[in-house]
Amino acid sequence: MGNGLYLVDLDQELTGFRQFISSWIYQRDGANYVVDPGPSSTIHLLVEALQKLDIHQVHYILLTHIHLDHAGGTGHLLQAFPQARVICHPKGIPHLIDPTKLWRGSLNVLGKIAKTYGRLKPVPAPAIGYKELLEGQRIDVVETPGHASHHVSYVMDGILFAGEVAGVSINGEQNDHLLRIATPPKFIYEIYEASLQKASRIEAEKMCFGHYGMRTDVKDVFARAKDQLQLWMDIVRKHYARGSDRPEQAIYNDILQHDPALSSFHQLPPDIRQREHYFCLNSIKGMYEYVKEKDKTASFSPA
């Protein structure tokens, strides 16, 4: 990408999981940063990329959140670079020091995908912390808990390492970019929307997605993400009001007909569409459960 910024592809042996997961390497002021090292299964690719760049020391590993596809390989990377310091939201730190619960939960939610990502290795407690480890590094750590309660974004030199705060960017077949919400259960609309608003106020010239690639039209990305969130919520509420039980597929079809951010979806390769179908349904499920819970709470609230 130039100027000390590099994207590393972390393709998986799963249908459609290409140009989907990446890690970012950033160099400045003599320090080497890795943002989201990715799953355990592809740490060897990241290490190879670092070697090709003649990087022999990683100083900081910045985690946007601890989901397996972003942080699962952290312990493995520390074996290659034991002096690195890991930056993580405090809510996520215990689950990396002892990943038993995180691994079990990931298996329950992701099944085969989690097994392909690979098991985590524990991160030594002295190697991990939060903002206190970044003193003097000129890095803004912005808490953006929409995608996960422990999600953070990082800003360095006008570059926003956004994780999944604005969802997923998909490279289209016509050099266009599709945008897709990433709201797995448990989804809370108010938190997700507030994180979008907060991140959209960050002054950044470049935006690096966890999934996938870099965008320079940062303001436009956030404007589209906000519009998309409202559209999906309107469609989910409409289908819920109809009383259908588990109408995820019907909601998905409705979204593809009306979401301009996914207008060229049907031009994507079949394997990418299959991947996105899975993750769209996952997000829809989270939104539907949110609407259902809100309705239940309103029904039983005191007069």
Question: In sequence order, what are the residues at sequence separation of 6 or more whose Cβ sits closer than 8 angstroms to the Cβ of residue 91?
Answer: 149, 150
Domain that holds residue 93: 5-225
In this predicted structure, what is the pLDDT of residue 171?
86
Same domain, 85 and 132: yes
Q: State the CB neighbour count (10 A cutoff) for residue 5.
A: 20
Low-confidence spans in the chain with pLDDT less than 50: 301
Same domain, 234 and 133: no
Q: State the CB neighbour count (10 A cutoff) for residue 293.
A: 13
In this predicted structure, what is the pLDDT of residue 244?
72
Q: Which of 173, 190, 225 is the last residue of a domain?
A: 225
Same domain, 204 and 105: yes
In this predicted structure, what is the pLDDT of residue 2?
63
Cis peptide before 198 (omega within 30 of 0): no
User: What's the Cα-to-Cα distance from 120 to each of 29, 228, 291, rounded to whole Å?
Assistant: 31, 34, 34
Residue 216's Cβ-count burial label (10 Å; 0-12, 13-18, 19+) is exposed
Q: Would residue 302 count as lying in a domain? A: no
For residue 169, list its beta bridge partners. 179
Q: Would residue 303 count as lying in a domain? A: no
3-state helix, strand, coil in the chain (%, to 5): 45, 20, 35
Same domain, 235 and 218: no
Q: Which of 177, 202, 225 is the last residue of a domain?
A: 225
In this predicted structure, what is the pLDDT of residue 300?
53
In this predicted structure, what is the pLDDT of residue 174?
66
Same domain, 153 and 178: yes
Greatest pairwise CA separation for the chain in angstroms: 67
| Cβ atoms of 6 and 48 closer than 8 Å | no
Alpha helices in the chain (DSSP H): 43-52, 68-71, 74-80, 93-97, 100-110, 112-117, 189-200, 218-241, 248-258, 270-299
Decide the pairing of beta strands 206-209 and 213-215. Answer: antiparallel
Q: Which of 225, 256, 280 is the last residue of a domain?
A: 225
| Number of alpha carbons in the 13 Å side-chain half-sphere of residue 136 | 3
DSSP string, 30-80: TEEEEE----GGGHHHHHHHHHHTT-----EEE-S---HHHHTTHHHHHHH
- For residues 60 and 85, give the distance between their C-alpha atoms in angstroms, rounded to a whole number: 5
User: What's the Cα-to-Cα distance from 194 to each of 32, 54, 66, 207, 226, rounded to whole Å?
Assistant: 31, 40, 21, 18, 10
